[in-house]
């Protein structure tokens, strides 16, 4: 019986040779390895003969090479620093598509969170390709956003849940190491991203809210928001060297959150009465004073004048004494939080009205009517 003629792959990758399959010799990652989600390992010094005959690589070929390199990088980072059973091969193959969705999210044209988006887009994505903790946090944010856009897709919810769990696990591990100049940007960015997906509720049914739950972790979406302030305190000696320096300077230049006057001047009168705030009350003597001092200007400013990033900063500045009262479901603490959530929801609704996604606009009616925006 005659053997069918074929062209031998003499410069193929080691992975295909070990699997005894024909390699198509595409570099830096062959198509077969890319399809199977495995590492592609070319022999050092081997040359792709198809490229030698081409004096200049075309722009389209350059794009393909960059795409393949990015795909290989994402898959390699996803496989490191964790047990191999954490993700299935099919979930790993979603890495590149999910990262592309993240790039699309931070590339949106709306002005809300513009300084934050610029750093995420321009500085943190290359960093994530070398840091599994940060990469998984990005994939968690993007997959959670995709799951919210497709509430009936159970598979998307599973993928988002897995990315969130791995990101949180890796972040906890990172926090066990000393915080240094070298890892500060990874920790800051990961903290911000975890805060983002922690704030995203999986459903909108009031009876499923944390307020009716006895689970100690049900309030984590709020408690975790203060982590960024703690990290910033730790890295103050090196803050000028951080990729986040300029963005943080923009967000901190907000006079509403720098008012630490004692007393009740310029506070909402009804809420000040309810919280027993007098002309001599200070942040140290009353746990409601500082939250109400931050909240009152937000209640006076028209929604159209509020920036979502500045409204959301309220969460990260809440003092521990007040958060303990919220966790204990103390009525006055909850009422202040409810007022802020009303402002936040209104600002988010205004932001989302500019979305070019028809599905978002169709699903906007409930939050808009619930908070009184419409």
92-116: b or e for each residue (b if 16 or more CB lie within 10 Å)? bbbbbebbebbeebbeeeeebbebb
What is residue 57's predicted lDDT score, i.e. its pLDDT? Answer: 43
Q: At what angle do helices 308-316 and 331-352 cross, to 10 degrees?
A: 150
User: For position 52, what pLDDT does the model report?
Assistant: 36
Max mean pLDDT range (39-53, 74-88, 178-192, 340-354)? 178-192
Q: What is the pTM of this model?
A: 0.65
Strands (E), the chain: none
Residue 42 has phi, psi (to 5 degrees) of -85, 150
Helices and strands: H and E segment counts in the chain: 21, 0
**pLDDT recorded at residue 61:** 45
Is the predicted pLDDT of residue 187 greater than 90, yes or no? Answer: yes
- Residue 65's pLDDT is 45
Residue by residue, DSSP assigns 35-98 as HHT----BPTT---HHHHT-SS--HHHHHHHHHHHHHHHHHHHHHSSS-TTSS-HHHHTTHHHH
The yes-or-no verdict on residue 93 having pLDDT over 60 is: no
For CA atoms 55, 59, 61, 67, the dihedral sign is positive
**pLDDT given for residue 66 in this prediction:** 44
Give the pLDDT mean for 187-198.
Answer: 90
Q: How many other β-carbons are positioned within 10 Å of the β-carbon of residue 191?
A: 22
Given a cut of 50, is residue 252 above it in pLDDT?
Answer: yes
Q: What is the mean pLDDT of residues 100-120?
A: 75
Q: Is the pLDDT confidence value at 68 over 80?
A: no
Q: Read off the pLDDT of residues 308-325 as tens digits, 9 standing for 90 and up.
A: 667 877 888 899 999 999
Mean of pLDDT values over 122-140 = 89
* Of 93 and 353, the one with more pLDDT: 353
Decide: 286 and 278 in contact? Cβ < 8 Å: no
- Give CA–CA dist 364/354, Å, rounded: 11
Beta bridge partners of 42: 13
Compute the CA torsion angle 125, 241, 109, 136 (nearest 10 deg). 30
123: DSSP letter: I
For residue 211, give the DSSP letter. Answer: G
Q: Which residue has better confidence, 284 or 100? A: 284
Mean pLDDT of 42-58: 44
pLDDT(342) > 70: yes
Per-residue model confidence (pLDDT) at position 56: 42
pLDDT top residue among 302 and 81: 302
Q: What is the DSSP string of 270-304?
A: HHHHHTT--TT--TTT-TTHHHHHHHHHHHHS-GG
Nearest Cα to 82, choosing from 172, 204, 188, 179?
172
């Amino acid at each position: 019986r005659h053997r069918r003629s074929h062209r031998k792959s003499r410069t193929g990758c080691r992975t295909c040779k070990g699997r005894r399959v024909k390699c198509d010799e595409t570099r830096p990652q062959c198509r077969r390895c890319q399809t199977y989600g495995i590492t592609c390992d070319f022999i050092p010094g081997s040359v792709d003969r198809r490229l030698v005959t081409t004096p200049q690589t075309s722009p389209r070929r350059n794009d393909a090479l960059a795409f393949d390199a990015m795909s290989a990088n994402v898959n390699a980072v996803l496989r490191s620093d964790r047990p191999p059973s954490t993700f299935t091969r099919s979930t790993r193959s979603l890495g590149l598509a999910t990262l592309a969705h993240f790039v699309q999210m931070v590339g949106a044209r709306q002005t809300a969170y513009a300084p934050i988006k610029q750093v995420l887009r321009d500085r943190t994505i290359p960093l994530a390709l070398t840091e599994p903790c940060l990469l998984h946090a990005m994939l968690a944010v993007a997959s959670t956003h995709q799951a919210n856009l497709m509430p009936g897709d159970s598979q998307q919810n599973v993928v988002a849940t897995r990315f969130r769990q791995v990101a949180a696990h890796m972040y906890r591990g990172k926090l066990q190491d000393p915080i240094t100049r070298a890892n500060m940007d990874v920790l800051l960015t990961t903290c911000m991203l975890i805060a983002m997906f922690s704030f995203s509720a999986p459903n909108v049914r009031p009876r499923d809210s944390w307020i009716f739950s006895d689970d100690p972790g049900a309030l984590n979406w709020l408690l975790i928001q203060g982590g960024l302030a703690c990290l910033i305190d730790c890295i103050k000696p090196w803050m000028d060297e951080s990729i986040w320096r300029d963005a943080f300077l923009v967000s901190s230049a907000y006079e509403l959150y720098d008012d630490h006057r004692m007393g009740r001047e310029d506070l909402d009168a009804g809420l000040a009465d309810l919280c027993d705030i007098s002309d001599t009350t200070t942040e140290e003597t009353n746990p409601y004073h500082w939250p109400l001092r931050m909240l009152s200007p937000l209640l006076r400013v028209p929604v159209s004048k509020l920036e979502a990033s500045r409204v959301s900063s309220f969460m990260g500045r809440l003092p521990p004494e007040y958060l303990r009262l919220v966790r204990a479901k103390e009525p006055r603490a909850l009422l202040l939080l409810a007022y802020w959530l009303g402002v936040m929801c209104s600002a988010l609704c205004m932001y989302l009205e500019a979305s070019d996604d028809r599905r978002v606009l169709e699903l906007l009616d409930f939050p808009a009517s619930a908070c009184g925006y419409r």
